[in-house]
Structures are given as structure tokens and as C-alpha cells.
Amino acid sequence: MSTVLAFDLGASGGRAIKAVFSDGSFHYEEVHRFNNVPVEKNGTLYWDFQTLIAEVHAGIEKAGKFDGIGFDTWGVDFGLLDKNGRLIGLPVHYRDARTNGISKKAAAVLEPEELYRETGNQIMDINTLFQLSALRGKNPDLFEKAEHLLFMPDLFAYSLGARPVCEYTIASTSQMFNASARTWSIPVLTAFGIPRKLFAPFAQSGTITGIYKNAKIIAIAGHDTQCAVAAMPRVSESIGQSVFLSCGTWSLLGTELDAPVLSAESMYAGLSNELGANKKINYLKNIIGLWLIQESRREWKREGRDYSFNDLEKSAGEAKALQCFIDPDDPSFTQPGNIPGRVIDYCRRTGQYVPQTPGEIMRCIYESLVLKYRFTVEQLENMTGRKFTEFHMLGGGVKDRSLCQFTADCCGITVIAGPVEATALGNIIIQLSALGDIADIDEGRKLIAGTESLKTYIPAPSVDWESGFKRYMSLLSSQNKE
């Protein structure tokens, strides 16, 4: 019997989940929940790391005794350590404006096609490579002072006494990791003036990296998306015909492959190759996700209108279908603030119907998300030659029944929704494998399929999604020409 403590930290909050494995099954409970609120200092947006560490210790205190502990977080962000192993300042938030537009400027340093061939990552301003490039230009003294870079999950583990490591899945989000050789890309590091010595030794997911109060500190799949994918329930033998959607602040939609796809066509499609906990390539697209709904709700609350998520889902259901769309990944939606106002501006700017009410704005967001999902599924099918028959929705977004049914209807694929706690469960099964309680991730997936509550959504379209998709594709095409 083993007891493990899984810390799952997302862009808006974190949880500590305690799981007990006994007699071939496990049960788990949330023992601590906390907010993750960035702080702004002198015009820079940071993660409030010291507050987060205090919350980690509060979760440990509430959990009591456990045998293993592991951390998963969002991708790309990091902390820098000096030669004495001390953190230099606070980790900067990926939404900080310092990297705005930097990926386009980077094309003068290394051609985008070559950068993609080396790393296989979707080229995005937020990626670690561009954060380091911005830091080197804006604050060269701090850059020179840095002895080690630790990605966020490894930094949390280090704060408890783990040795400095660089876990593979989180490294693969950085735009500096060679997806084929599975090590750092020397051509990329050289081109951007980033020293190889900055990085700690690699660690496989499931590596024990230290001891904390008699418990093993385990470097699980540090990237939360890869934890969620690790928990994709094995309900059939057709994993190769499945797509997954890790549905939270970000929507990460993809499929598992044995090798990366590094063609120019893949790059222009905005697809990314990231390493999974089971050493497969997760070939996916990063799409702005429930952030649009979360931030809209925050804006309305600031205005004195405190809607619950259920209120917003209901109001969207009452609004007229397929009136107007946005591209969730348009740059206007990346920064915190008045998302409802930006949705209105986008629709007006693109000559569409302009939503008038919160319900119409929500309907626009819902439909735009699922239309982007369908667009991405078709891209994945074209690039891999596969025809997908199962759509696994994982994470907190599966609680939104409208989103699940819209996805099934729009994509024309059966949706298997759940588990809600996919990221934490992936964290847990990787720890259990490291401790010897289960053989591997595949056994963990079967265990999850047999114990977790899953809901199936069969395509039953009540609106003309085909017509809506044609209009949506025309919108994307017209915006790409601008």
C-alpha cells in the first residue's frame, strides 16, 4: 500500500490531492486548494512564488503522512538560480508583455522552418526560448548571474530538497529541445546565445530526485498536459484512432505518435511535438481555452455582475446559434482584461453580427472553441493520415456539458468525457509506478477506466454545424491574409 501527494498547479490555482493505493485500486481526496494570482512589479508580471510555496507547505501539513510527492505545472515558465543555489527574483509570468511579438523578430536569428525542424514546437511568443532571449536583451546582468534554470515543477521540488533536474516533458515545451534526439538543440542554443551549462541534468518522468520527511520526491511528468494525457482512460485498444483534449485554461488538442512530425506543413499548421510521460510524442496544438470564459466572468464580476459558470452555460444555451465567431488564438485575447469587450470589437471589426448580451458573447466563445477544435482535428488527420473515431476530453472543462455536446456535434466524433481530475490522476499513477505499485502508465490508464466516472456524448447536431464551419474557415482565412 502506498500513499502519494500530488500537487497540480495551474495558471489560476493549485490543489493538493492525496491518494491511497491498496488492493489493486485507489481512492483520492483533495486536501488543499489555493489561488494562483500573479503580481505586477515595476511593469513586469510575475508568479507569486513565495506565496505558492507557503501554500505547498500548507497542503503538506494537511495531508499528513505520505510515501511520495510530485508536482505538475503549466509549461514554459522557469526560475533562475545563482551560483549558491538561491532563486534570483521571482519567476516571470508567460503572459508578461516582454515577449510580445518576439517570435517574429527571432526569425532574423534562425529561420522558422529550421527552428521547427530542430524543436518541433509550435512557435509562440511565450515559449522559454523567447523568454530567455527577452531577458538577455532587457536584463543582461541578471542573465549572466544565472547558474541554473529550473522549470516550474522542478523548482517546486527543489524547494523541498530535490536535486536540480530538468524533467523531459517540461523541457519539451521550451522551443530548445530537439524532439528527435531528445536532448537540447545545440544549434538553437548557439544561435540565441544560451549556454548549455544553464540547464540541470535531464530526468525521466518517474525519477526519484530527493527525500522530504521520509517521502520520496518524484519528478513526474512536470507539464500538466502530459499528466492529463497519461490519465487518458484506456476504454478500447484504439488509442491510435483517438484524439485528446486537455481542457482547462488552455485547450491542448492532439494525438499520440511514435515520432515527431517536423515538416514545414506541420509548422504552418501551428502544431507542436511534445514528449509524453510514456515517451511517446504528443502531437498537438495549443489553443486558448476556458481562459476566455474565466476572464469574461472576472470582467463581469468587476462590473458588479457575478455570474456562476452554470449561469453562463445556461445563458449561452438560450442564445441564438452560429451568429458570430472569433479566433480564440487572435492576439487580442491573450492578455488579461476585458475579454467581453474584445469579443465585441473582434466581431465588429470582422463585419459580423455584434453580440449584445452575456449569453450571446458566451455562445460566440463556446462555438468558436469547438469550431477551432474541429479545424485542429482535421489538421491532425491530414498530417498523420489517421481517421479519428474517439475524442477524449480530459480535465475541468468536461464539467461543462454544453461544451462536450457541442464538441461531439461539431466534430462528428463520439466524445468520452473524463476524468475531471485527469491531471492529478496522471500525477498519481506516475508516482505509483515509480514506487512499484503499478507496472506502467498503460496499467494506470486501465485502472482509471475501471474506476472513474466517464460520460459519453454521441454526435446529435441540432444546428447546421457544416454551414457554421464553412463560415468559420472563411473568417480564419480572411484574418490570416491581413
Active-site positions read: 224
Phi-psi region of 475 (alpha: psi -120 to 50; beta: other; left: phi over 0): alpha
CA-to-CA dists, residue 170 to 31, 74, 153, 155, 451, angstroms: 25, 9, 8, 12, 28
Pairing assessment for the beta strands 207-212 and 215-219 based on DSSP bridges: antiparallel
The DSSP code sequence of 119-148 is: H-----TTSHHHHHHHHHHH-HHHHHH--E
Query: Is the distance from CB of 152 to CB of 91 less than 8 angstroms?
Result: yes
Query: Is the distance from CB of 28 to CB of 424 less than 8 angstroms?
Result: yes
Burial label for 65, CB within 10 Å (0-12, 13-18, 19+), is exposed
Measured in degrees and rounded to the nearest 5, phi and psi for residue 53 equal -65, -40
Orientation angle between helical segments 339-349 and 291-302, nearest 10 degrees: 110
Pairing assessment for the beta strands 183-184 and 177-178 based on DSSP bridges: antiparallel
Query: Is the distance from CB of 386 to CB of 256 less than 8 angstroms?
Result: no
Residue where the block lists cell 481530475: 421
> What type of residue sits at position 150?
L
